[in-house]
Amino acid sequence: MGSGSQTFRGGYAKLGFCLPLSRPAETMSTTRKIREKFAEFRRAERKAYWLWDQGRWRYFTYRHRKEALLNSVFDREHAIETAVEIPLGAVGVPQADVARGNAVYRPLTETVFRAALASVHFDPAKFTFVDIGSGKGKVMFMAADHAFRRIVGIEYAAGLHEVALRNIASYRSKTQICKAIEAVHADVLEYTLPEGPLLLFIFNALAKQTMRGFLEKVDREAARDPKRPIALIYTNVRTVAEIGNVFSALPNLRIIRRERKYVVIANEAAAALAQ
């Protein structure tokens, strides 16, 4: 009940419990925050939208804390470290390039990954799985539960890449199927994609302009050999709408699946296999 009313305090005291009184500084801080929010509400032109947005972010914060705990459990189970979030500037990314990678590293939860991957019915044995902006490697390890030909992670931040290498060396899992896991330190706009059928995966790793540049690169790759299956899954734990219309006007790629937290684009060769 926290710092409840005096009625509740008296009731708990009779039961032998003692609840701490609220500290004056904490009470003043809370009161100030309430006043600031009320003033923000009064200034808002679209008050209904403001209320909806506040509720959305409160829910996201609650869910994010819950997912952080699940990420830590994943790490302990597999003898790795992927759960700790960190600013890209702290892991070797020049300040001028931080915005290209959405500023902060954070891991993807298993729930979103599994839902996105299950939305397409590819035979993993025919595909190379490529994680774009692979960070510390968690998506690669989740993908390793499937029989992909190989798994490659591309990461621009040197510090994150080094952690991924250590994680690959220490990773342990009874459900791992694919053992061919490789971490590559590279810029995705300059990196030469592997040959053969590709399933590319991006967990909100690129800012809009960088994302569009990469998609255009993938589109050119698809045009080079129309019979080569190429698909890309983009995920965002809030909503894929945040990335804007970057998936439009790609001559050789089209959206084949779209949900709130993920979208799948593919060329015709991959789309035929996803049915």
Is residue 139 domain-shared with residue 261, that is, in the same domain?
yes
pLDDT at residue 22 greater than cutoff 90: no
Quote the pLDDT of residue 65: 65
- Does residue 156 belong to any structural domain of this protein? yes
Q: Three-state DSSP class for 202?
A: strand
Predicted local confidence at residue 97, as pLDDT: 81
Name the residue with tokens 């892991």: 91
Q: What is the per-residue pLDDT across 186-243, written as a single tens digit (0 to 9) for each? A: 999 999 999 999 999 999 999 999 999 999 999 999 999 999 999 999 999 889 999 9
Whether residues 111 and 33 fall in one domain: no
**Which of 213, 205, 198 lies closest to 236 in space, CA to CA?**
205
What's the number of domains the chain is made of? 2
Q: 150 and 32: one domain? A: no
Whether 52 maps to a domain, the answer reads no
Is pLDDT of 6 > 50? no
**Whole-model pTM over 0.85:** no
H or E, element range at 150: strand 150-155
Q: Residue 159: which pLDDT band, with cuts at 50, 70 and 90?
A: very high
What is the overall mean pLDDT for the chain?
86
Tokens, residue 255:
């959206």
Same domain, 158 and 39: no
Same-domain check for residues 226 and 138: yes
State the CATH number of the domain containing residue 227.
3.40.50.150
Residue 97 lies in a domain: no
Please indicate, yes or no, if residue 64 is contained in any of the structural domains: no
Most distant CA atoms of the chain, gap in Å: 79
CA-wise closest residue to 140 among 103, 174, 162, 171: 171
Dist CA 36 CA 31 (whole Å): 9
pLDDT of residue 14: 40
Residue 258 lies in a domain: yes
Nearest residue to 153 via CA among 173, 170, 167, 133: 133
What distance in Å separates the CA atoms of residue 159 and residue 174, rounded to the nearest whole number? Answer: 28
Q: Is 148 left (phi over 0), alpha (psi -120 to 50) or beta?
A: beta
Q: Using CA atoms, how far apart are residues 58 and 165, in angstroms rounded to an integer?
A: 35
Residue 107 to residue 131: CA distance in whole angstroms: 12
Phi-psi region of 133 (alpha: psi -120 to 50; beta: other; left: phi over 0): left
Q: How close are the terminal C-alpha atoms of the chain, in Å?
A: 52
Give the residue-averaged pLDDT of 14-33.
55
**For 32-41, 116-125, 146-155, which range has the lowest pLDDT when averaged over its residues?**
32-41
- The sign one gets for the Cα dihedral 70, 256, 258, 255 is positive
Query: Is 6 found in the same domain as 126?
Result: no
My answer on whether 144 and 255 are in the same domain is yes
Please tell me the predicted confidence (pLDDT) of residue 4: 41
**251 touches 222 (CB < 8 A):** no
Query: Angle between the 47-78 and 24-43 helix axes, to the nearest 10 degrees?
Result: 130
Residue 36 structural domain: 1-43
Q: Are 176 and 211 in contact (CB under 8 A)?
A: no
Residue 60 lies in a domain: no
Please report, rounded to a whole number, the percentage of residues in the chain having pLDDT higher than 70: 83
Residue 69 lies in a domain: no
φ and ψ of 199, to 5 deg: -120, 105
